[in-house]
Structure 1
Amino acid sequence: MSAWRPGSGALSSPGTGSWSWRCWWWWVVVIGVSVGSGDPWMSAEACPSFCSCSSTRISCVDPERGINAFPVLQSEAEMENITEIYIANQGSFSSINDKDLHYYKNLRNLTVTNSRLTYVSKLAFQNNIKIQYLNLKDNNLSSLSWRIFKHLNISYLILTGNPLHCSCENMWIKLLLGEEADTQELRCIEDGGGRKLLSRLTLPNCEVPMATLTPSKVRLREGKNMDLSCTTSGVPSPELIWNMVLVSNYEIETSGQISWLRLSNLSSLDHNSKISCTAENIVGEKESSLLLDILFPPKITKLSDAIPDHHWCIPFSVAGNPAPHLQWFLDGEAVTEGAYIMTMIHDVTEREYHGCLQLDSPTHLNNGRYTLLAENEYGTDQKDVEAHFMGKPWDEGPTVDPPEDRVAVYVVVGIAAVAFTGFLLMLVILKFGGNSKFGIKGKTLHFYLHW
């Protein structure tokens, strides 16, 4: 769908300068379709004039107003929303460089077809890990490195119509596509100029590299030393690369296609850490790896105050290998776990166990000092924490009203006392008012006559 551009005349009535009812109706229909599809047009200012854009797609297919690089939108946010780019018939489009697609982080489908594409950088898609569909059909590619796709999970790769050389550098394409290479009728050009099905390509001195790590397993006590060796093979001769992140001390010695990794004073912090050696050449790569299995005594890294949740929980974290046995004590007495109090493990990481002592509706009987004891064959560790869930019923004193409530009570009592006193005075007046001795009756009558 093409974006409307100011001055295009698409919505103007000739001669009058105003929009006719037909133009209004056309505009309503277009807006309705755009909104209904969930893929509205991008503003003309945001989309390059030589392309057409929606909120998620860019299409550049006009051969007369060609492009020589990927279009750049006005903002990074707009580029991050793009999931598909379609480029075709561009005679000046020759390369995909390191930063060309840097801001198109959510790009999933990329098509560059029937153009003059001759070069794709090894870092071309370093920021486009979501790409699944890549169509580079009918271009001018003679070779393509496997390293371009090393970090991607491509589902569809289309390379038909490119003058690929029958070289060792392109052997990985045959290995990757398998039978799909025949489905695409993918061919390569031999030195003599003849074309050959890529699926039938065989070359001397062109082998996938191999790597073998010895020993294949490591299970050692914390503080020990050990050596690992990696042997590689392949043609051309592969590069050998060690890859690890360790706290333990290590040194690397390499001689030809054999390399030694010397580990010293193994740290428990490296338990379950990955060590890999990789062999790489132009045909591809092969990795051999292991996880360090380091034995060490338990260490309680966290024991926190009890917190109320759906149940009460005393949180803890414990490291140890092998997995430590956990025992709880309340004021020195072993806690018997059951339906209402139990140890729960919620998460296990490379070297730690995270959980809580769960208590269901604890009472004052559960108050006290809790001790967590962690133990395995290499040692023990323990920590204490105070927990208070409920006060003892017989320790609870009379409820004391807040100051505001006491003032309110005093006011009400005062009003009631005044009213009661007035009521008593009225009774006295009524009782003795009929006695002439006091003259109350006559004076009262005279008062009413005066009024």
Structure 2
Amino acid sequence: MSAWRPGSEALTSPGRGSWSWRCCWWWWVMVVGVAVGSGDPWLSAEACPSSCVCSSNRISCVDPERGINAFPVLQTEAEMENITDIYIANQSTFSSINDKDLHYYKNLRNLTVTNSRLTYVSKLAFQTNLKLQYLNLKDNNLSSLSWRIFRHLNISYLILSGNPLHCSCENMWIKLWLGEEADTQELRCIEDGGVRKLLSRLTLPNCEVPMATLNPSRVTLKEGGKVDLSCTTSGVPSPELIWNMALVSNYHIETSGQISVLRLSNLSSLDHNSKISCTAENIVGEKESSLLLDILFPPKITKLSDAIPDHHWCIPFSMSGNPEPQLQWYLDGKAVLEGEYIMTMIHDITEREYHGCLQLDTPTHLNNGRYTLVATNKFGTDQKEVEAHFMHNPSDGNEKEPYYYASSTESPPVDPPEDRVAVYVVVGIAAVAFTGFLLMLVILKFGGNSKFGIKGCALFQNIPVEVVSR
């Protein structure tokens, strides 16, 4: 088959040439249609690096001749945020994954870097890739990998076979984390003498996961009190001890060797249910010990709002207190008897507060008045008041028409305004139609003598005027 040349008859022939261009046209339409229909259109050449192939959610770089040495960067941040799958293979100059390489790929789920020269992965490499689930680093040049890279991720699949991993304490976490999967991958490490052995059989002296013990394991104290928490760590290599908390209460830390003491004073009710944790970590892994502060304090009503109509009427409130306060409502100084139609409902409980409302079903003017909420536990009492108005008193002569009707109202409801408007519209249409009929009669009778020469409609030209005049 001869190649096409400029000026050849393949372009000028009226039959064969035009059929050829139609073929090209329909082929292009089909490709575009399949891409659009699949919901995975290819990105333009300008948006994708020349050595890779890109779609709206996937990047593939497998050409060994036009290789890459870093992750591809698309034209816009939005395009990179849409990427969920990156596949890199056969890249002899691709050697590292650094802190910011994947910063904009925030929706990345699957990452493959295989059969390349990858030797280094930063501990911050995946800081923004919280959705990453599948990581394939098979057949690269990794000698070690830190567990800290994955501490914030929920990786489901990690493939590391084919790498020259050292049989070192730094890689012991891989054996512990993969478990039986290490044998499934036939994952091996290299000893000092160059001997390769199954990672699952690796045992090393002075290499163990650290431990952390927090004492006491539970704290229940009244607001304003004080307490000392001690954390003891163990492990080889010697672990680092880290306290983690966010407190309003006063505190300071004293550390000596593998024991650290957290001294808390003037405990605040705002720290109720706050988490305090101490963590021991070394190159093998980390362990955490934690507790929740249980701070006892008197009730405090933080909100009591006006009644609002919803599915039922509701007087909303928010309060705090530990133990949970008992609630009592009063209407104009008299205790409210709760039952089927009036009841206190708690809709939400957060770490420190209860949110709810006094629910009233079809209240009347008898329920109008000043409501007082009283919250009580063994450490104290708090109360707030709010005025509630549900409907006007029917016996009030100044009120022409109540805006609220109870379900037992016997008088028939007044027709809504929409019905009256409809009546007016129908009457108006009838009047317009009648006026048009009269105008038609006038045109038919006097049209023949009009100075404008109007002779009437062609439909009536053969009807004698005498007939119309009758």
TM above 0.5, one fold?
Answer: yes
Q: Letter of the aligned partner of 1:192 in structure 2?
A: G
Structure 1 partner of 2:223 = 222
Structure 2 partner of 1:169 = 170
Tell whether 2:195 aligns with 1:194.
yes
Q: Give the secondary-structure state (helix, strand or coil) at the position aligned to 2:355.
A: strand
Structure 2 partner of 1:137 = 138
Give the Cα separation in 2 of the matches to 1:212 and 1:62.
Answer: 52
Q: Give the secondary-structure state (helix, strand or coil) at the position aligned to 1:219.
A: strand
Give the Cα separation in 2 of the matches to 1:275 and 1:246.
Answer: 9
Tell whether 2:58 aligns with 1:57.
yes
Structure 1 partner of 2:116 = 115
Q: Letter of the aligned partner of 1:99 in structure 2?
A: K
Tell whether 2:299 aligns with 1:301.
no
Give the Cα separation in 2 of the matches to 1:81 and 1:341.
Answer: 52
Give the Cα separation in 1 of the matches to 2:10 and 2:352.
Answer: 77
Structure 1 partner of 2:23 = 22
Tell whether 2:243 aligns with 1:242.
yes
Structure 2 partner of 1:448 = none
Give the Cα separation in 2 of the matches to 1:344 and 1:31.
Answer: 58
The size of the alignment, in residue pairs, is: 388
How far off its partner does 1:376 sit?
Answer: 0.4
Deviations 1:339-372 (A, max 9, x none): 1111111110111000111111111001000000
When residues 248 and 97 of structure 1 are mapped into structure 2, their CA distance, relative to the original with a 3 A threshold, is same
Query: Does 389-398 or 106-115 show the bigger shift?
Result: 389-398
Q: Letter of the aligned partner of 1:75 in structure 2?
A: T
Listed as ranges, the matches of 1:3-402 within 5 Å are 20-397=21-398, 399=400
Q: Give the secondary-structure state (helix, strand or coil) at the position aligned to 2:63.
A: coil
Deviations 1:216-272 (A, max 9, x none): 000000000110000000000000000000000001000000000000010000000
Give the Cα separation in 2 of the matches to 1:397 and 1:275.
Answer: 63
Q: Letter of the aligned partner of 1:373 in structure 2?
A: V
Q: Letter of the aligned partner of 1:258 in structure 2?
A: I
Tell me, which stretches of 5 or more residues in structure 2 are unaligned? 1-8, 402-470
How far off its partner does 1:338 sit?
Answer: 1.1
Give the Cα separation in 2 of the matches to 1:302 and 1:249.
Answer: 27
Tell me, which stretches of 5 or more residues in structure 1 are unaligned? 1-12, 401-451
When residues 395 and 318 of structure 1 are mapped into structure 2, their CA distance, relative to the original with a 3 A threshold, is same
Q: Letter of the aligned partner of 2:130 in structure 1?
A: I
Q: Letter of the aligned partner of 1:103 in structure 2?
A: Y
When residues 233 and 398 of structure 1 are mapped into structure 2, their CA distance, relative to the original with a 3 A threshold, is closer
When residues 14 and 390 of structure 1 are mapped into structure 2, their CA distance, relative to the original with a 3 A threshold, is farther
When residues 14 and 85 of structure 1 are mapped into structure 2, their CA distance, relative to the original with a 3 A threshold, is farther
How far off its partner does 1:87 sit?
Answer: 0.3
Give the Cα separation in 2 of the matches to 1:273 and 1:190.
Answer: 47
How far off its partner does 1:14 sit?
Answer: 7.2
Q: Give the secondary-structure state (helix, strand or coil) at the position aligned to 2:238.
A: coil
How far off its partner does 1:15 sit?
Answer: 5.1
How far off its partner does 1:399 sit?
Answer: 3.8
Q: TM-score, normalised by structure 2?
A: 0.81
Give the Cα separation in 1 of the matches to 2:220 and 2:210.
Answer: 28
Give the Cα separation in 2 of the matches to 1:28 and 1:343.
Answer: 65
How far off its partner does 1:398 sit?
Answer: 6.2
When residues 396 and 159 of structure 1 are mapped into structure 2, their CA distance, relative to the original with a 3 A threshold, is farther
Structure 2 partner of 1:424 = none
Identity of aligned residues (%): 85
How far off its partner does 1:111 sit?
Answer: 0.2
Give the Cα separation in 2 of the matches to 1:63 and 1:103.
Answer: 25
Q: Give the secondary-structure state (helix, strand or coil) at the position aligned to 1:395.
A: coil
Q: Give the secondary-structure state (helix, strand or coil) at the position aligned to 1:260.
A: strand
How far off its partner does 1:115 sit?
Answer: 0.3
How far off its partner does 1:397 sit?
Answer: 3.0
Q: Letter of the aligned partner of 2:26 in structure 1?
A: W
When residues 341 and 28 of structure 1 are mapped into structure 2, their CA distance, relative to the original with a 3 A threshold, is same
When residues 171 and 398 of structure 1 are mapped into structure 2, their CA distance, relative to the original with a 3 A threshold, is closer
When residues 159 and 398 of structure 1 are mapped into structure 2, their CA distance, relative to the original with a 3 A threshold, is closer
Give the Cα separation in 2 of the matches to 1:75 and 1:192.
Answer: 49
Q: Letter of the aligned partner of 1:389 in structure 2?
A: F
